[in-house]
Amino acid sequence: MRKKILEVKNLEISFQTYAGEVHAVRGVNFDLYEGETLAIVGESGSGKSVSTQAVMGLLGKKNTHIKGGEILYQGQDLLKLNEDDMQKVRGKEIATIFQDPMTSLNPTMTVGRQIAESIIQHQVVSWGEALEQAEEMLGMVGVKNTKSRMNHYPHQFSGGMRQRVMIAIALACKPKILIADEPTTALDVTIQAQILELMNELKTKINTSIIFITHDLGVVANMADRVAVMYAGKLVEWGTVDELFYNPQHPYTWGLLASMPTLENLEHGLYTIPGSPPNLLHPPVGDAFAPRNAYALEIDFKKEPEVFPVSKTHFAATWLLHAEAPKVTPPAEIQRRREMFDKKLMRREQV
Amino acid sequence: MKKYLVKRFLVGMIVLLLITFLSFLIINFSPGDPATLYVSSDATEAQLEQTRENLGLNKPLLIRYGHWLKNFIQGDLGISFATRQPVSNMLLERVGPTFLLMGTSLIVAYLIAIPLGVYSAVKQKSWVDYLITGTSFLGVSIPNFFLGLIFIYVFAVQLEWFPTGGMHDLGSEGGFLERVHHLILPVLVIATTISANMIRYVRSSMIEIFGENYLRTAKAKGLKPQNIIFRHGVRNALIPIITIVGTDIPKLIGGAIVTEQIFQWPGLGALTISSIQARDYNVLMAITLLSAIAVLFANMLTDVFYAAADPRIRLNEN
């Protein structure tokens, strides 16, 4: 069994707004193992970014309230660290890449300095050595002519190249965890593939674990070892990529997968999940997904579902898994996926 | 960049030419006949005509302008009606004190405004922020001359900390410390008005920068708050401020006229007032010209600073 490097337990975060308290994250639990890539998927506003920004301690102090829970990094609760100690974690132990490479770099500082800055912050090196390491990093992320590129400003780089620079900054101190918050959303598809490939390559080279936040399930399949699905501030289902993609249990995961374009579902058009996510100013009782769920049971509107284990690695929070729940037939797309999953299992047993 | 500056310079020349023509018209069309000021009140019409001829005022306007322009290009600004001295000598005498006053005021203003503006933004919505923005609002609202009178009354008349005016003590040539002593009050008056305005710009510019993604990146690197604010924040926040510095220069020239008058500062401002009263056309023309050059030069300097501060707008790179 691999070592757990990060454990998030019962994390609850809310924002104070003029309208009232928004319960953005409502009790999130997940673990991250050494060297793995965990994808967190979910639609906008489901709390994926907020949860991970809490891990980095990047949430603003004024109107954010971390109401409860623990974020254990190598056994140490990051929520209990003071600002000085947290600065030593940020960038060194846990680093992050953001969504928008066009605005995430300082426009008036050379790229080389922006990378070297994080090295000199966390390591006992001279400025010259830091610049040397920075140049090496720049080469590692696939930037050519590093010598002259070091002295260039961000506006002289294309979007994809800037995201490479962001990766160089994030990995400059060889962090144990890299949080990638939709790192390819702002890039076009070919560049996206290059960046993902680069991340996979560096992950093994530097031996870092990745938390990959995305709403692109296609990306998840290529990147992740495990997937967690988030909805309305909670994880509704998590498991290995195979389990999630081929044996999903939560109707929300069904919806997500059914609305993913595949070669098979091209003919009858894409599925969409009806309705819109709940307003987290007033979180619903019961299962937050129930009003949009064609398979909702009566109990879904009254009581929040427990987390049921499907396998040792696969869990889902839906009453459908309760022993007394009626058997439902999932959408055709999901049945097709399950058949493939069963075949895979059988093949594995034969081997 | 060089090509751009040469172009700016040529355009500036044309603007300057237009300014001289317009000011020549305005000055000469303004009521009052200089000739009447330089003869006794019971002078005959013939004597007046003679004076006009002496002053070169009897020819048609356009010919006089052409004459003035020709002399100006040759470096001759003419003779003052009032003092009969070459205008250039008078200007040279006055430029020094005005530059001293304006330069010191600008530097003091920014030394006050930038730290306070940044601090106010960092401590946004705290009582310190409210105190700073409140005071700056007061500073913007009080006119220069009124603030000058208050300062003279409080600090010079009541407390007797500073002299009421002038550049040095009567009958003294004035050492460095004495000069500084006289400089403090007028500088404070001008600097208050400029920095009051500037604080608000710096603060809002800084607050805008706090929302930028690259500041989040800086924080995610694990940088210390002071490094985030100064290395990544202030530099970017000051770029829009440069434009405002450019517009401060003309304001400073206007403000200096009033402030110099109140503090009897022997600079261009005081000379302006006295030459308006004396209908001293040549001196007025020269001062207008000098102000115009200062403003155009400030604008050009703004562009240069802008390019220096922001790599994105450096022209003709490589």
pLDDT digits (tens, 9 = 90+) for B1-38: 677 778 888 888 899 899 989 988 888 887 777 777 77
Q: Which among B213, B221, B311 has CB closest to A117?
A: B221
Q: Please indicate, yes or no, whether residues A131 and A212 belong to a single structural domain of this protein.
A: yes
Neighbours of A163 (CB within 10 A): 30
The answer to whether position A296 is within a domain reads yes
- Where a domain ends, among A224, A241, A273? A224
Q: Which among A91, A96, A108 has CB closest to B311?
A: A108
Please give the Cα distance from A118 to B224 (Å, whole number): 11
ipTM: 0.86
| Contact state of A106 with B223 under an 8 Å Cβ cutoff | no
From chain B, pick out residues whose CB is under 8 angstroms from the CB of A122: 222
From chain B, pick out residues whose CB is under 8 angstroms from the CB of A81: none
Q: Please indicate, yes or no, whether residues A49 and A173 belong to a single structural domain of this protein.
A: yes
From chain A, pick out residues whose CB is under 8 angstroms from the CB of B227: 121
Across the range A167-195, mean pLDDT stands at 89
- Where a domain ends, among A190, A224, A258? A224
The answer to whether position A303 is within a domain reads yes
B294: which 2 tokens?
A: 């200062």
In the sheet with A4-17, reading across from the earlier edge strand, the strands are A20-33, A4-17, A64-73, A76-77
The answer to whether position A244 is within a domain reads no
Residue B236: closest C-alpha in chain A: A108
Q: Which among A104, A153, A170 has CB closest to B311?
A: A153
From chain B, pick out residues whose CB is under 8 angstroms from the CB of A169: 217, 221
pLDDT digits (tens, 9 = 90+) for A134-149: 999 999 888 999 999 9
The answer to whether position A235 is within a domain reads no
Q: Please indicate, yes or no, whether residues A27 and A139 belong to a single structural domain of this protein.
A: yes
Q: Please indicate, yes or no, whether residues A302 and A345 belong to a single structural domain of this protein.
A: yes
The answer to whether position A229 is within a domain reads no
Q: Please indicate, yes or no, whether residues A88 and A203 belong to a single structural domain of this protein.
A: yes
At residue B162, φ and ψ (nearest 5 deg) are -130, 155
Task: Quote the percentage of chain B above a pLDDT of 70.
Answer: 96
Across the range A3-14, mean pLDDT stands at 92
Residue A98: closest C-alpha in chain B: B217
Query: Token pair 């101190």 is at which residue?
Result: A173
Please give the Cα distance from B185 to B191 (Å, whole number): 10
Give the pLDDT confidence score for residue B318 in this predicted structure. Answer: 42
Give the pLDDT confidence score for residue B169 in this predicted structure. Answer: 66
| Contact state of A88 with B239 under an 8 Å Cβ cutoff | no
Please give the Cα distance from B19 to B22 (Å, whole number): 5
Domain span at residue A169 reads 4-224
Torsion on CA atoms B70, B72, B75, B78, rounded to nearest 10: 110
- What residues are paired with A308 via a beta bridge? A316
Residue by residue, DSSP assigns B107-132 as HHHHHHHHHHHHHHHHTTTSHHHHHH
The DSSP letter of residue B248 is H
Q: Please indicate, yes or no, whether residues A254 and A216 belong to a single structural domain of this protein.
A: no
Please give the Cα distance from A161 to A187 (Å, whole number): 10
Contact pairs from chain A to chain B, CB under 8 Å: 74
Identity (one letter) of the amino acid at A312?
Answer: K
| Contact state of A108 with B219 under an 8 Å Cβ cutoff | no
Q: Please indicate, yes or no, whether residues A194 and A276 belong to a single structural domain of this protein.
A: no
| Contact state of B220 with A87 under an 8 Å Cβ cutoff | no
Q: Looking at the 3D structure of chain A, how many domains does it have?
A: 2
Q: Which of A265, A255, A268 is nearest to A294 (CA)?
A: A255
From chain A, pick out residues whose CB is under 8 angstroms from the CB of B209: none
Please give the Cα distance from A10 to B73 (Å, whole number): 82
Q: Which among B220, B227, B236 has CB closest to A56?
A: B220
To the nearest whole Å, the CA of A57 is away from the closest chain B CA by: 9
Q: Which among A104, A108, A122 has CB closest to B217?
A: A104
pLDDT digits (tens, 9 = 90+) for A201-239: 889 888 899 999 998 888 888 889 999 999 999 999 999
From chain B, pick out residues whose CB is under 8 angstroms from the CB of A49: none
Question: What CATH number is given to the structural domain containing A45?
Answer: 3.40.50.300
Query: 3-state DSSP helix/strand/coil percent for chain A, to nearest 5?
Result: 40, 20, 40
| Contact state of B222 with A92 under an 8 Å Cβ cutoff | yes
From chain A, pick out residues whose CB is under 8 angstroms from the CB of B235: 108-109
The answer to whether position A232 is within a domain reads no
Q: Which of A130, A144, A224 is nearest to A180 (CA)?
A: A224
To the nearest whole Å, the CA of B231 is away from the closest chain A CA by: 9
pLDDT lower than 70: segments of chain B: 1, 168-174, 314-318
Q: Please indicate, yes or no, whether residues A70 and A138 belong to a single structural domain of this protein.
A: yes
Q: Best mutation site among A117, A123, A148, A173 for testing chain B: the one with the most B CBs within 10 Å? A: A117
Q: Please indicate, yes or no, whether residues A188 and A285 belong to a single structural domain of this protein.
A: no
Q: Please indicate, yes or no, whether residues A133 and A206 belong to a single structural domain of this protein.
A: yes
| Contact state of A106 with B214 under an 8 Å Cβ cutoff | yes
The answer to whether position A38 is within a domain reads yes
List domains and CATH numbers for chain B.
90-269 (1.10.3720.10)
To the nearest whole Å, the CA of B198 is away from the closest chain A CA by: 22
Q: Please indicate, yes or no, whether residues A218 and A255 belong to a single structural domain of this protein.
A: no
| Contact state of A90 with B221 under an 8 Å Cβ cutoff | yes
Q: Best mutation site among B215, B217, B242, B317 for testing chain A: the one with the most A CBs within 10 Å? A: B217
The answer to whether position A167 is within a domain reads yes
Q: Please indicate, yes or no, whether residues A178 and A266 belong to a single structural domain of this protein.
A: no
pLDDT digits (tens, 9 = 90+) for A256-267: 888 887 776 677
Give the pLDDT confidence score for residue A221 in this predicted structure. Answer: 86
Query: Token pair 């190598």 is at which residue?
Result: A74
Give the pLDDT confidence score for residue A252 in this predicted structure. Answer: 92
